[in-house]
């Protein structure tokens, strides 16, 4: 089991022990692919970890963009967090209903906003439920709390920066999609996208940094997974995936290894695969 760290990852045991801390805030950041036939908010209302607020990844985003759930503007993030009663001085724990899928995206979003006291719940809601821990279906009592934000621009990359990295090789580009999608052997789940990967990029499926119960692997196993994928852990990394969600799992894993020079390509393959003038590799 990975060790507890309130800035990266905490266990269900840690959360249970701190559940009644006055400055703890819990977020349910469950999100599912559009074709999954699941409604995250409905599932949240039916049962969630006591005190959890629902973080809507699609709504708390930059909706001026045609791309899905792009990082929110600072002002929108502050507004939504204050309305949820989350602010300065709070320790935040975020989880999702798949164990380790969308929660790291919210962890990264908080880091992007300069908020460091946030951790992902290791194993998420499935592990919490499997251990017979308490759930509730009541909305939490919310009190407005001031929040100070300082956006960390170095944690995010746009398409031009990724294209430069692809050409120059000064940043490693690491794709969290499955090997079949990376190699271009299957169609993309989002219609209209080309198949393949960013030229020069490496592939490490996000599942390969997780245990079968969706907890994160320990440090030795994480290091082995990255090195097996060809990643040089002494050099900077841009993580990417289908739409910027599972890329954040790799970013969380890098942070667990003490590798702090990493950034997320927010548009990911949804953006890159859309434009015919951007080169694509297969195989």
Query: Is residue 242 within 8 Å of 270, Cβ to Cβ?
Result: yes
Note every long-range contact of 80-83, with CB atoms under 8 Å and residues 24 or more positions apart, other chains counting: 81/147, 82/144, 82/145, 82/146, 82/147, 83/142, 83/144
Q: Which residues pair with 197 in a beta bridge?
A: 281
Catalytic one of 159, 204, 241, 247: 241
Catalytic residue check, 241: yes
Residue spans of alpha helices (H) in the chain: 12-18, 40-46, 74-83, 103-112, 124-130, 159-168, 179-183, 219-228, 247-256, 268-272
Q: Classify strands 118-121 and 24-28 as parallel, antiparallel or unpaired.
A: unpaired
Query: Is residue 270 within 8 Å of 67, Cβ to Cβ?
Result: yes
Cα–Cα dist 150/227, whole Å = 33
Count H helices and E strands in the chain, helices first: 10, 10
Question: Taking the CB of residue 234, how many other CB atoms lie within 10 A of it?
Answer: 7
Q: Classify strands 9-10 and 118-121 as parallel, antiparallel or unpaired.
A: parallel
The residues, ordered by sequence, that sit 6+ positions from 59 with a Cβ below 8 Å of its Cβ are 80
Task: Look at residue 164 and give its three-state secondary structure.
Answer: helix
Residues recognised as catalytic: 241
């Amino acid at each position: 089991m990975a060790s507890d760290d309130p800035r990266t990852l905490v266990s269900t045991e840690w959360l249970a022990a701190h559940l009644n801390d006055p400055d703890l805030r819990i977020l349910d950041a469950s999100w599912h692919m559009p074709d999954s036939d699941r409604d995250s908010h409905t599932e949240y209302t039916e049962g969630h970890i006591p005190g959890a607020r629902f973080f809507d990844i699609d709504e708390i985003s930059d909706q001026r963009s045609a791309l899905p759930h792009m990082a929110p503007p600072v002002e929108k993030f502050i507004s939504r967090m204050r309305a949820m009663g989350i602010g300065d001085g709070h320790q935040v724990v975020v989880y999702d209903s798949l164990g380790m899928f969308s929660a790291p995206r919210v962890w990264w979003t908080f880091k992007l906003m300069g908020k460091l006291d946030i951790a992902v719940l290791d194993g998420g809601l499935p592990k919490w439920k499997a251990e017979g821990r308490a759930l509730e279906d009541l909305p939490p009592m919310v009190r407005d709390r001031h929040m100070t934000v300082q956006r960390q621009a170095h944690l995010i990359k746009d398409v031009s920066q990724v294209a430069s990295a692809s050409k120059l090789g000064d940043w490693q580009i690491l794709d969290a999609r499955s090997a079949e999608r990376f190699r271009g052997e299957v169609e993309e789940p989002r219609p209209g996208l080309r198949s393949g990967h960013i030229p020069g990029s490496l592939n490490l499926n996000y599942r390969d940094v997780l245990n079968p119960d969706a907890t994160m692997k320990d440090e030795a196993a994480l290091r082995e997974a990255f090195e097996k994928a060809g990643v040089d852990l002494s050099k900077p990394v841009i993580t990417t995936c289908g739409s910027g969600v599972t890329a954040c799992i790799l970013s969380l894993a890098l942070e667990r290894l003490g590798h702090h020079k990493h950034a997320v390509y927010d548009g990911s393959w949804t953006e890159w695969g859309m434009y015919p003038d951007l080169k694509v590799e297969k195989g």
